Every structure is written in C-alpha cells, then in structure tokens.
Amino acid sequence: MKTVSLGAPRSSTVKFHRPTRDNLVPIRVDIEVDGQRYRDAFTWNPRDPDSEVITFAKRTAKELKLPATFVPQILQSIQGQLAEFRSYEGQEMQVKEKIMPLKIDLRVNNTTIRDQFLWDIGNLESDPEEFARTLCDDLNITDPEVGPAIAVCIREQLYEIASQTVSAMREAKMSKKRRAPEFASNSKAMNNAVDMFKYFGSKGSVIRKRKEWYLYEPVVDVVPKEEAAVVDAKEQLK
C-alpha cells in the first residue's frame, strides 16, 4: 500500500473496474449506409451474453425500420467496443480517491444541457445512472431521452480516465518506477485532479466561493425545432 502525498486516502490496486457501481460499457454507434444515418448511444452490460448483441442489433434495426445492411455494421461496432472494454478488463488499475471535474455538453433533440461537476473516480460505488435520473428530475427535463445521454456521457468520461489509469500503471510497471507521486503527475488527466487538500485544509471551506457558482451551474436550454434542425445540419456537414 502506498501512501500518497494527499495524506490519509490510500491507494489500492484492483482489477479494472469503472469507478461506478455497475461495470457497464458506454456504447456509441454512428453508422451511415446509403445516405441513411443511425446514431445512438447507450449503456451495455458486458455480463450479458454475446448472443444478446445480435438480437439487439436485429431488433433495433427492425423497430427503426432500417435496412438489413445496417445490422452487421451495428453488430461490428458494438462488438468492437465491447472487445476494447474487455481488453482492459484483466488489468490492474490504481484506485484512490481522486476528484475530477466532469463536463456535460450535449444536445438531445430539442434540449441542450451544459454542466460541470466534480466526480470522485476513486469511489467504486458511484452511479452515473442515478445521477442522470436525479438531474433530469430536478431540472424538470421532460424529454426522456436526455437522461440516458447524460449517463452515457458520464460513463464515457469515466472510461477515458480509467483507461488512462490503466495505461499509466502499465507504463509505470514497465519502467519500474514505483514512486506514486511520479506517475500521478505523469498523466495529463491526473493533472486536472483537484487537490482536495487545498480545499479542505484549515484555511479553505467546503462551500464554493460565490464567484465560482456560475461555473458549476447546469444550464438547460430548450431550443425550438428550427434551430435544432439548423444545428443538426451543421453537424452533419462537419
């Protein structure tokens, strides 16, 4: 067990696990066939058998009335992302209490939402789904599709962070440097981590300063349809 300069919280190595209660995989699908575009994002439970993937792909294509050519592409996309996840699975990552800012900047149908908040990636009990649900309820977001989008977004960011941790661990092992502070600072992502000590030291207080409030407010906009269409078109051109 290594102690970090942060003091009491100790780091431990565990098997790769997203810092969430469920080890779910965020999947993003974006396929274009013959001018028809299918974009989707959802969470998948990697414990489901692989036969589920093909069933899911077929069902989705049927319900959305997509031509059959979509099905193998969807399948490949999902399976690829699952495989990537699984490749991380056996490896170790270091888990300690680390608070990272996460950002949400999404547009779903007519609703845009921007938010920024702090998330403890060392907490294995965290639940992005719960967070998304609460957020939608509190902000009275009526479009039910916003919730899953938020959850997927959070998971993707956590996934990024976690995979960086894993690769950092690997590098550290290979280079045989075992000094915790060293690789803590090596990783770019970790640099963003907030030094809680600074906050909660004797001089700081838990309550955010008033002038920083605006940074951490969630902003939800409901845009009228025409604007949404315009923005959509712009994105497609990109």
Partner 1 sequence: MATPPAPVPPVTANSAPTPAQSPFKAPPFSQPPSTAGTLKTEIPPASSSAAIAAGVAAVGAAAEDSSHVITVPSYSGWFSYDSISDTERRLLPEFFEGEVAAVSGSRGPEAYKYYRNTLVKRFRARPARRLTLTEARRGLIGDVGSVRRVFDFLEEWGLINHGAPPLGAKQGKDKREEATTSQSSLPAGPTTPKKLCVGCRSVCGSAYFTCEKADISICCRCFVRGNYRPGLTPADFKKVEISEDAKSDWTDKETLHLLEAVLHYGEDWKKVSEHVGSRSEKDCIARLIRLSFGEQFMGSKEQKMEFEIDDDVNNESRAEIPKRPRLTPLADASNPIMQRVAFLSAIVGSGVAAAAAQAAISAQSQVDMNDNQTDSPISSTKEEVFSAESSYTNGFSANDLLKEASTNAQVQLQKEQKDIEQSLSAIVDVQMKEIQDKISRFEQKELLMEKEREQLHHLRELLFVDQLAVVQHQRRPHAVAAENKEEEKPKPIITMG
- In this complex, which beta carbon is closest to partner 1, that of residue 47 or of residue 176? 47
CA neighbor of 119 nearest in space, from 192, 51, 16, 63: 192
3-state secondary structure of 208: coil
Among 18, 70, 88, 148, which residue interacts with partner 1 (rule: CB under 8 A)?
148
In the bound state with partner 1, the residue whose beta carbon lies nearer, of 149 and 166, is 149
Q: Hey, what amino acid is at 36?
A: Q
Q: Which of residues 113-142 bind partner 1 (CB under 8 A)?
A: 115, 117-120, 123, 125-133, 135-142
Among 62, 86, 173, 177, binds partner 1 (CB under 8 A): 62
> Residue 175 belongs to what H/E stretch?
helix 146-175
Nearer to partner 1, 66 or 93 (CB): 66
Q: How far is CA 155 from CA 10, 32, 143, 216, 236, in A?
A: 24, 24, 20, 19, 25
Total interface residues for partner 1 by CB under 8 A: 56
CB of 92 or CB of 127, closer to partner 1: 127
Distance of alpha carbon 133 from alpha carbon 74, whole angstroms: 27
Q: Nearer Cβ to partner 1, position 56 or 167? A: 56
Spell out the alpha helix ranges (H) of 176-215. 180-186, 188-191, 196-200
* The one segment of 10-18, 165-173, 210-218, 227-235 that binds partner 1 by CB under 8 A: 210-218
Answer yes or no whether residue 199 interacts with partner 1 by CB under 8 A: no
CA distance 136 to 115: 12
**Phi first, then psi: what are they for 14, rounded to 5°?**
-130, 170
Q: Is 231 a residue that touches partner 1 (CB under 8 A)?
A: no
Region near partner 1 per CB under 8 A, out of 79-87, 182-190, 209-217, 226-234: 209-217
The H or E element spanning position 138 is helix 128-138
What residue ranges bind partner 1 (CB under 8 A)? 21-22, 24, 40, 42-45, 48, 52, 56, 59-60, 62-64, 99, 115, 117-120, 123, 125-133, 135-145, 147-148, 150-151, 208, 213, 216-222
